[in-house]
Amino acid sequence: MPKLKDKAVERNQIRIEDAALRIFTRQGYHGTSVREIADEAGVSLGNIYNYYATKEEIYCSLVRRYGQRMAELQVQKITPLLGSFDPDSLTRLAGVMREIVAENADYWRLMYIDVVEFGNQHFSHIFQAFPSALRQINPAAFTGSQLACGEAPEFAFASV
């Protein structure tokens, strides 16, 4: 059997993952079978196993793909707005965050599935690392200050 080119493999994986995403977000992870994913993707059940050993591997690949997209959006759209915490800057930041959430609803759906069905095992690292990532992005904005409640501003910012 001839080996598929990397682009063909990637296209097939994206087709399978897109099908899985549609079903996961309708039925949940545990309510979805690999056979349903194969049918939705228009591939044989056996062919899915050429790309993924388990259904959870499909889910994890989706999480990674969307995670990369969110990291790119953070660098492009959020990082430039972290220089100041005056009301106008925070209003602009909130607008950009609202846009990102609205335009990437499937990412948040995957996160909800993870929280409800996996106890947050696939997304927890994002939340744990977020305050220190904010400090790395803009050290000047978060250094040497503390909120009235005693918390570090990057913790409060991450919480919001």
* Domain presence at residue 1: no
pLDDT of residue 74: 84
Residue 59 burial (10 A CB sphere; 0-12, 13-18, 19+): buried
Same domain, 114 and 129: no
37-57 mean pLDDT: 96
Number of independent structural domains in the chain: 2
Are the beta carbons of 150 and 157 closer than 8 angstroms? no
103 and 137 housed in the same domain: no
pTM for the model: 0.78
- Both 133 and 107 in one domain: the answer is no
Residue 48 has pLDDT above 90, yes or no: yes
Q: What is the CATH number of the domain that holds 89?
A: 1.10.357.10
Higher pLDDT, 54 or 157: 54
